Structure formats: C-alpha cells, structure tokens
Structure 1
Amino acid sequence: MDAHQMASANDVDTSQNVTRRYAWMVFALTFGLLISDYMSRQVLNAVFPLIKSEWTLTDSQLGLLSGIVALMVGLLTLPLSLMADRFGRVKSLTIMAVLWSLATLGCALAQSYEQMFIARFMVGVGEAAYGSVGIAVVVAVFPREMRATLAGAFMAGGVFGSFLGMSLGGIMAEHFGWRWAFAAMAFFGLFLAVLYPMVVNEKKIGMAPIKDANNQVVKPKKSPLRSLYSSRSIVATYIASGLQLFVGGTVIVWMPSYLNRYYGMSTDKAGITSAFIVLFSAVGAILCGMLCDYLGKNRPDRKVLLAIIYCVLGCVILVSAFSLPPGTTQIALICLGMFIALGTMGPSSAMVANLTHNSVHGTAFATLTLANNFLGLALGPLVVGKLSDIIGLNQAFQYMPLMSIFAAAVFIYAKRYYHRDMERAIANADLQQHTQNNGD
C-alpha cells in the first residue's frame, strides 16, 4: 500500500481561494479560542486545594466538578458538531465561546458547591463541540497537504491551554483569590468571542461540495454516520484512545492536589509545576506523532504498533514513578511517563482519519472526542477521586496507570483488522471518486 493509495481516500481539497495571510489569521483566532476553551476547563484543577478547604469538599466532589465538563463534552460533541455543519460553523463557534466564557464567570461568582456544579455543567455544554468544529474550520482554509500538520498542532493546543490555565490560574489564585482566576479566563474568552466573527467569514470556510461530471452534487451511497462505525478497527481505536486518556486526563486533573498534599507546595507553585508536566506531555504528543508519521509513511499498521508501545511503556514508567517517594526523581519520571503516555493522540487521530472518508472527518473527530471524554477525561478523575477518598490519592495514583494495559489490549485488537479495514476504506473512496468523475 503506497503513499498514493493512502492519499486517495482523502483526495478532495476543500480549501477555498483565500490568501495565506487570511488562512493564518483564521488559524490564530481558532487556536486562541481552543486555548481559552482549555484554560477555562483546567483552571479549576489549580484551585482545587482552596475550594476544598473553603467549602469542606471531598475528593469525589472535586472530581465531579472536573468530570462533569468532560461528560457534557462527550454527550454533546456529536449532535452539536452536526448542527454546526448545518447552521454555520463561525456562528456556532462564537456561541460556544460566549457560553463557556459566561459559565466560567459564573464559577467566579458561585457561592456554593451546587452553584459551582451548575456553572461547570454549562462550561461543558459550551465547550462540547469546539474541538471537532474548530479543526473543520482550520483544515477548510489550508491546502490539503498541510492538514495533518495543522490538525496535530491544533490538538496539541488543548494541552497548551491546560498549561496556561493551571499555571496562570495557580498564580492568580495565590495572589488575588481563586475567584479572580476564573474571572480572568472568562474575560479572555469573551474578548476572542467578540473578535472571532468580525474577522472570520462564514463563506470562506464552507466545505466545497463534491460534484460529478454533470456538475451535480454527489451524495454518499451510505449514511455518513454509519461509516463511522463500519469497521472493527475504528471502533476499537475510539475505545483504546479513550481508555488511554483515562491516564493522561487523571494526571492533568489531580496533579496540583498531589503536589500540594505530598510535596507541601503552595497553590501557585503546585499549579506551575503541574503545568510544566502538562506542557512536557504536549511536546511528547507532538514528537510521538511525528515519529508515527515518519515510521508509518509506507506502513500504516505501524501507527497501531506504536500506539501499543506508547501505552505499555508509559504504564511501566508511571507505575514506577508513583511507587517512589516524593522527590526530583519522581517528578522526572512522571514527566517522562506523560511524554510517552499522551503519544497515542497522534496515532489514534491518524487511524481515524485513515479509516473514514474526508467528507465525514469532522464527525469522525467528534466521535473520537466523545470516546475520549466518556472513557478518559470524565471517567478518570471521577474514579480516581473516589479511590482517593478510600485509600488516599497516592495509592490511587499507583493503580491508575494500569488502565493503559487495557488500552494496549484494545489497540492490539484494532491492529488485527486495521490493514483489511484500510483496504476497504480505500476501495470505497475509489468508488466514490469514480462516481464523481463519470456521474451516477
């Protein structure tokens, strides 16, 4: 299977006649809103110790405040992504940004746990489809050959947003109080939400419909939604990716509390240290993805093999790290473990793109996001928070990396069918291309 065959499944260039300068402006603003998205989501982690003390909360309650956002993202990503495709992406992204920013401001004004929970619920509603719709906007204004690089950078932006949310949130909470940490994130998001529709034009980012030789729009033979679950390997990829993010998502959420309890760090220092661990994992996600593209250029199945290696190796390193006493060695191993553990983001995204046609890539990434949030980002903090109430956070962290073994097992299952499913995806793409060229 050569590179030309691989490209055939994604042979439609949906970029419009826009200048390179305008395309980069769209990327910068969309990327900026993605950073705002994750800053609003992750600032809570930096202020966990302060809220826990002020409202006398359990770790389970704190985990729920974090997990409810990921849960709503998981529930609403797919339907809201479909609605955005139908009613307009720029309008939808603007509404999303305004909603999550106002909800974050609501967190700053909350006077009780119940009010904070409602505000966090609305943050999740606002952020639900931003990742998948945002990627669709970015890839629509750039040439086809740049899409993989841009999509990878866009996904890493979520981790950079987490870095800024935890580090800046920790500093502001320490010096001005935790309410101002939420308020600052809210004002940043509202500023970008007002600016976004003033610069980004809906007509210039629309997906160009596929037409046949008679200039008629080609409709897919099968439902696009059905194609998202039509092979064993793609369903396994969704599940494996979500299970692996159980580990990465849990470390991101609970690390400030871990450093506060076992290292005696202040809120700002714990937030900054955790943010650097998250930043290290973002670099790992990018570099591991680049290695995946390099080694899998002519051997797509190597992407699955590398995902399996990342799962197992990350598990071994993180289990070893959390078995050590607090200290520099432990922090270094946690950084290394997260560097590798989040490396599955690249292979998982590549596998989903390879196994689905470009006409449903936005919805495919929404489905991947749903699995990541249900199985990983929502479930992980909740389960570990419950375990922490029973056996302590340190002990819970020692068991947490074992979820990577289950993720590796599902990736192994995906590898068994990946080559065959890839050939079928390419055959379906060739059939649609033949229909486009010759008419129905």
Structure 2
Amino acid sequence: MDISTTPTDLPATAAGPSRARSRIFPWVVFALTFGLMLSDYMSRQVLAAVFPLLKSQWALSDSQLGSLTSIVALMVGLLAFPLSLVADRWGRVRSMLIMATVWSLATLLCALATGYGQLLGARFLVGVGEAAYGSVGAAVMLSVFAPQLRASLSGALLAGGSFGSVLGVALGGVVAAQIGWRWTFALMAGLGLLLVGAFRILVTESALRRHAFAESPASAEAVATPIGDTVRAPLASLFSSLSVWCAYIGGGLQLFVGAVLMVWLPSFFNRSYSLPTDRAGLVAAGYVLLIGTGMVVCGIITDRVGRRHPIRQWSSALVYCTISLILLTVAFSLGAGSAQLTILALGAVTAAGSVGATSSMVASLTHASLRATAFATVTLANNVFGLALGPLVVGFLADRYGLAAALRLVPLTYLGAIAALAVGRYAYPAGLRRIARLDTGRPAA
C-alpha cells in the first residue's frame, strides 16, 4: 500500500445509508458560507480603500494605518482556536450566526468613530467577531461534500476572502469618493446582517448531520453524531506530527505577502502612480481579484495532481511559493510602468495559491472530530505569521524607508514558507501513520 494514501482516497459515502441527501443543500451551504466569507473580508478590507482619506483627515502615520488592519487579524489569530473549540462542542451553525452578527455590528460602529482611538476599538470588535468564522465555516462546508474536493473547496472558500477584499476595496473607494468614507462601513454592515438572516433560515445542525459525508469509520461517527455525544480525539492530536506543524507554519508565512498586497496596494498606486483614491482602489481591486482567482485555480490544480498521490499537494504548494517569490521580487524591483504592472499581476495569481493545499494537508493530518479546531489552528498561523504581521511590518518599514522600498523586501518571506513546506513534505508519511492510529483507536504516539 502506498504510504502517501490518505482518507481522501477512500470512497465517500453518506453518513447514514437510510438518510435522504439533497444535491442542492450542500451548495446552499457553500453559497451562504462563501457569502459570509465575502462579508467578513469586505468588512475587514474596506478600510484599505480609505487609507488616504483617513491619513489626511486625522493625520495618521503609516504604522497607525497598519495597526487598524493588523488589530483585526491579531484578534482573529488569538481567538480563533478557543472559539472554534467552543463551536465544535456547542454548535457550529449557532456559533457562525453569532460571529457574523458581532462583526457586522462592529463594522457599523466603525462608521460612527470620531477618531483613531474609537476606530481602533471598533476594529478590535470586528476581529473578535471574525475570529473563528473561517475555521468553523470551513468545517461546516466540508462536512457536506466528498473529501476528494477538499483542496478545491478550501481554496474557493478562502478565495472568498480575496473576492471580499476586492469588493470591499473597490466599492469602498467609490462610495467614499461619492458620499464619504463612513457610508462604506454602513454598507458592509448591512450586507452582513442580511446574510445572517438567510443563513439562519436555510441551514441547521440537523440538516448538516443528515447530509454529512463519511471519509472513514471514525470520521463518519464524528460527523454523524450530535455535537455533544461524539467520541473525540485528544486535543494534542492537532500537533501530533512534524508535518502538521510545517503545514501550519508554511501556510501562515505564504499569506504574509498576500496580506500585504491586499492592504497596501491601494496606497501603493496612490503614491507611486499618483492615482486618486477611487481609481487606486479599483486598480488594486483588480490585483486582489487575481489573488482570489489564483486561490481557486491553484486549489483545483492541487486536487488534480494530488488525487492519487496526496503528497504531491506539498509539491504544488512549494511550486506556487517559488513562482511568486521570483515574480514579485522582480516586480517590486522595477520602477513604475507597464512592465512592473504586468509582472506584479502574474505574481499575484500564485501569491496565495497554496492556501487550499495547506488546508487539505491539515485536514488529512487531523481527526474529523476536531476539524473546526484544526482549521482554527490554521487560522491562528495564517493571522499570526501573515495577516496580522504583514501589514503592520510594512507600515513600520514604510514610515522609515517609504512604501515602495518596504514592498521590495516583502517577497523574501516566501523563503521561510518554502523551507517549512519542504520539511513537511519529507515528514508527511509519518504524519499520516500517526493520524491513522487514532482512526483505529490506537495511541498516536
């Protein structure tokens, strides 16, 4: 038997043969989960579109602007794990509804802020609301689809973050230029609350259990049994192998660059290309759209190349990181012009291309009963090493050396991601054997 085979290669069956499964319901779950992910990142990234206005109106430094973004990612990183653990025990649907309501109301508070301190406090609450949504939402969505689609669906869901950033930056810039930056936050808050209502009506815990897929006997029991009754793997199993540690760290580091691009490109085009706020936002949104499209396309490619040999998922992630390292280093080394814009666009396609692969790796290396908590650990790494750290570091560097000079250093972060993923690929077979022992009831150590 090939040691690279994972549960994703096993036939997917319904959680119970006598339970009727709808072909539509899984896609309803996907659409609403994806829609809330859009709302999540629209609320988070709309701020980037109004950076120039806030900088002039409140005389803020680049490090202060970066902190307004990083505080959200920092709270997501700190709270994702404990809140996802609560959701695994208390109910994932109920938790998702509460989280989306909190971040939407907090976004509305951003519209009412009268200074940097109040806006920072409102953004803190946005981060609290968004903290565990990505991990819990991914666990809910993947539970009703066949395991063979993990990388594609994970990449598509995480691409919702990029698409939400696109909409937030593009709409934010236009709305702010027309009727003021406060209305951009009010618009995002209203959208989030509408989606909360739709999710509350159409998705329930009982419907999720009825449509759950079984990937192995142990995981079948985990997804088919009500939250409070299932036999669970020990929490320590989330960190039981070197390969899963490398997936967490490598995935987080590769998002450092993607986070910087999503946050700072509007300001880059405003300063380096002298574009007004609305045009800078629209141009930046095009590049963020490329990042999101790359997540989906790279996730699909990863599923195809790793269908029979899942270890190739690690190889694909390494390729994406290497391509972006080369292209983005060249792009930010060039002066303003068409050559820079073209190479920057090519590098953006693979800038976050390994997110689907790393999520799939973690799913295969952790037990299904802790799936939301496993994805929370991914979220923790993504935010600590990428989404929180990236914009803040660039803000400090921009204050000292200028934004263009700061961006030239950013692609070097891929070197750390490549090193972690290379070690993880080597240790992957041993990690699979450890998690297989849990599925058979034997100790993982």
Q: TM > 0.5 between the two?
A: yes
Choose which of 94, 97, 101 in structure 1 pairs with 2:100. 97
Q: Is the 8 A contact 1:241 1:344 kept in 2?
A: yes
CA shift at 1:145, angstroms? 5.0
Partner of 2:216: none
Structure 1 residues 407 and 146 mapped into 2: Cα distance closer, same or farther (>3 Å)?
A: closer
Listed one character per residue, the Cα deviations across residues 1-52 of structure 1 (whole Å, up to 9, x for unaligned) are 2887543789675586442233332322222111111100010011100011
2:198 aligns with 195
One-letter code of the match for 1:99? V
Q: Indicate if the aligned counterparts of 2:321 and 2:351 stay in contact, CA closer than 8 A.
A: yes
5 Å-filtered alignment, 1:216-255, equals 219-220=231-232, 222-223=233-234, 225-255=235-265
Q: Which residue identity is paired with 1:395? A: A
Amino acid at match of 1:25: V
Identical residues among aligned pairs (%): 49
Alignment coverage as a number of residue pairs: 429
Contact 1:210–1:218 (Cα < 8 Å) also in 2 = no
Classify 1:200/1:75 alpha carbon distance in 2 versus 1 (closer, same or farther; 3 Å).
Answer: same
Cα deviation, 1:358-412, whole Å, max 9, x if unaligned, reads 2222211110011000110000111110000000000000011111111111112
Q: 2:123 aligns with which of 120, 125, 132?
A: 120
CA–CA distance in structure 2, aligned partners of residues 142 and 339 of structure 1: 26
Aligned mates of 1:280, 1:136 — CA distance in 2: 26
Q: Give the 3 Å change call, closer, same or farther, for CA 257–219 of structure 1 in structure 2.
A: same
- In the alignment, the residues of structure 1 paired with residue 127 and residue 170 of structure 2 have an alpha-carbon distance, to the nearest angstrom, of 21
Pairwise CA distance, 1:97: 1.2
Match of 1:397 in 2: 407
Paired with 1:371 and 1:185, the residues of 2 have a C-alpha distance of 26
For 1:184, give the aligned amino acid.
L
The answer to whether the Cα contact below 8 Å between 2:139 and 2:375 also exists between their aligned partners in 1 is no
Cα contact 2:8–2:147 (8 A) shared by 1: no
The worse-fitting range, judged by mean Cα deviation, of 77-86 and 48-57 is: 77-86
Shifted more, 300-309 versus 345-354: the winner is 300-309
Q: Which runs of 5 or more residues in structure 1 are unaligned?
A: 436-440
CA distance 1:418–1:275, shift in 2 (3 Å): same
- Which amino acid in 2 is paired with 1:343? G
Give the aligned partner of residue 378 of structure 1.
388
Determine the structure 1 residue equivalent to 2:434: 424
> For residues 393 and 350 of structure 1, what CA distance do their matches in structure 2 show?
35
Which amino acid is 1:124 matched to?
G
Give the aligned partner of residue 25 of structure 1.
28
Change (3 A) 1:137 1:22: same
Matched, 1:415 2:417: no
Distance (Å, rounded) in 2 between the aligned partners of 1:297 and 1:18: 25
Following the alignment from structure 1 to structure 2, what is the Cα–Cα distance between the partners of residues 307 and 231? Answer: 19
Residues of 1 paired with 2:97 and 2:149: CA distance?
Answer: 25
Change (3 A) 1:160 1:366: same
Instruction: State the Cα deviation string for residues 47-86 of structure 1 (Å, max 9, x = none).
Output: 1000111000000000000000000000111111111222
8 A contact 2:259–2:390 mirrored in 1: yes
**TM-score between both structures, scaled by the size of structure 1:** 0.91
Give the CA deviation at 1:210.
5.2
State yes or no: 1:7 paired with 2:8.
Answer: yes
Q: Any idea what the Cα deviations from partners look like across 1:176-216, whole Å, max 9, x if unmatched?
A: 1111111111111112222321222232124878559xx99
Counterpart pick for 2:284 among 267, 274, 277: 274
Correspondence for 2:360: 350
Aligned AA (1:271): G
SS in 2 for 1:342: coil
Compute the TM-score of the two structures, normalised by the length of structure 2. 0.90
Tell me the distance in 2 between the aligned counterparts of 1:416 and 1:21.
Answer: 40
Q: Tell me what 1:164 maps to.
A: 167
Q: C-alpha distance in 1, partners of 2:199/2:357?
A: 31
TM-aligned CA deviation for residue 232 of structure 1: 0.5
C-alpha contact 1:108 1:183 (8 A) present in aligned 2: yes
The 1:347–1:377 alpha-carbon spacing in structure 2 relative to 1, beyond 3 Å, is: same
Contact 2:70/2:392, CA 8 A, preserved across alignment: yes
Query: 1:20-99 maps to which residues of 2 (within 5 A)?
Result: 20-99=23-102
Distance (Å, rounded) in 2 between the aligned partners of 1:428 and 1:332: 49
CA distance in 2, matches of 1:406, 1:339: 20
Indicate conservation of the 8 Å contact 2:63/2:395, yes or no: yes
* Structure 1 pair 400–91 and aligned structure 2 pair: CA distance change class (3 A): same
How many Å separate the matches in 2 of 1:244 and 1:7? 24
State which of 258, 279, 300 in structure 2 corresponds to 1:290: 300
Contact 2:12–2:146, Cα closer than 8 Å, also in 1: no
Structure 1 counterpart of 2:371, one-letter code:
H
Q: Distance in 2 between matches of 1:298 and 1:381?
A: 38
Residue of structure 1 aligned with 2:154, choices 151, 156, 163: 151
Closer, same or farther in 2 for the Cα pair 1:423/1:154, shift >3 Å? same
Q: CA 1:3–1:316 in 2, change beyond 3 Å: closer, same or farther?
A: closer
What is the SS of the residue equivalent to 2:352?
helix
1:144, distance to aligned residue in structure 2 (A): 4.7
**Distance in structure 1 (CA, Å) of the matches to 2:29 and 2:356:** 23
1:122–1:254 distance in 2 versus 1, CA, 3 Å? same
Structure 1 CA distance for aligned equivalents of residues 397 and 431 of structure 2: 39
Q: Deviations over 1:130-165 (max 9, x none)?
A: 111112222233455555543332222111111111
Q: Aligned partners of 1:188, 1:246: CA distance in 2, in Å?
A: 28
Q: 1:438 matched to which residue of 2?
A: none
SS in 2 for 1:20: coil
Please give the alpha-carbon distance, in whole angstroms, between the structure 2 residues aligned to 1:24 and 1:141.
9
TM-aligned CA distance change 1:141 to 1:294, over 3 Å: closer
Secondary structure (helix, strand or coil) at the match of 1:228 reads: helix
1:367 aligned residue (364, 370, 377): 377
* 1:263 match: 273
Instruction: Quote the offset at 1:302 in angstroms.
Output: 2.2
> Counterpart in 2 of 1:133?
136
